[in-house]
Structure 1
Amino acid sequence: MIIQIKKMNESIAKEILHWHYDPPYDFYNNDCSDDNIKELMNENFKAIVDEYNNLVGFFCVGEAAKVPAGYKFGVYHAELIDMGLGMNPHLVGKGYGFEYCTFILDSIKKQFGNTPIRLTVATFNKRAIHLYEKLGFVYEDIFTSEFGEFMTMIKHQ
């Protein structure tokens, strides 16, 4: 699959917000509200499309990638590049994850150099955690919020 970054726009944001994941990944389903559209339109969010301009997923860096409850547990104390991502539910579980995440990591490295990257993932998402470990991320911390339990993982460049 040939993928590239595309600027986020309202149409893409709405498509993402209409994605529906099967349980237990329905945790990642969102409402297509004005606030959620506005959040995705933040300059820190980028869309990823394939060679046919089909939406493959998105990623974000910075504050948008953090789970706010993590602050009270001190998990975001270190100055790192925070990364968040999502993949089209029609592509999840089909073997594209490693290539997809490598593309995102390479893009972040081009922008930020060798600064370590941190991500936050729901602890139930064993499939994602396994992928992140294959990509070189290691467990750093764990915390809970009203939505569930999360872990932070770090990758040193």
Structure 2
Amino acid sequence: MKLYSRKLTRELAMDILNWHYDPPYDIYNNQVTADAIYELMNEGYTAVKDETGTLIGFYCSGQSAQVPAGRMLGAYTEPAIDIGIGMHPELTGKGNGYLFFSFVLNELTALDSHSIFRLTVAGFNKRAIKLYEKMGFREKYHFKTDINEFIIMLKW
């Protein structure tokens, strides 16, 4: 499968916001609101499509990729490029993550090859943690909110 990055349009934002993940991944479900559409279109999000033009996922970098509670706890003080990703729910858990995340890392590395990459993952998301470790990320910091534990991982 060949992947391409595309500007996130209103139509693509609506598609993403309507994705439905089964428990326990349903924490990633969203609601379609004007604010949510605005964020996806204006806060550093990029769509990822395959060679047929099918939307398979998205990524973001910078503050959009950070968990607000982590910012309040000082978890993001070291310089790094924060990465957030989301893959279409029909593609998760089927071995597509490596290709998808490799594409995202290559895209971001092309912008700045000397940076440290950082991501934040929910502690229960063992599938994602395994993928990130396979891609060279290592645990750096943990924090908890009222409903979840999060792990911050870095790749040098």
TM-score calculated relative to the size of structure 2: 0.97
Secondary structure at 1:56 match in 2: strand
Identical positions, percent = 47
Shift of 1:43: 4.7
Shift of 1:112: 1.6
1:20 partnered with 2:20:
yes
Correspondence for 1:143? 143
- Partner deviation per Cα, 1:34-70 (whole Å, 9 max, x = no partner): 1111110025100000011100000000000000100
Count of matched residue positions in the alignment of Structure 1 and Structure 2: 156
Shift of 1:147: 3.6
Shift of 1:113: 1.8
Which whole-Å CA distance do the structure 2 matches of 1:134 and 1:30 have between them? 28
Please list, as runs of the form range in 1=range in 2, the aligned pairs for 1:47-126 lying within 5 A after superposition: 47-126=47-126
Structure 1 consecutive aligned stretches of length 4 or more whose deviation exceeds 6 Å: none
Shift of 1:74: 1.7
- Partner deviation per Cα, 1:58-105 (whole Å, 9 max, x = no partner): 000000000010023221010100000000001001111111101100
| RMSD of aligned Cα (Å) | 0.8
Structure 2 unaligned regions, length at least 5: none
Secondary structure at 2:14 match in 1: helix
Secondary structure at 2:91 match in 1: coil
Secondary structure at 2:99 match in 1: helix
Secondary structure at 1:64 match in 2: helix
- Partner deviation per Cα, 1:126-148 (whole Å, 9 max, x = no partner): 01000000000000000012341
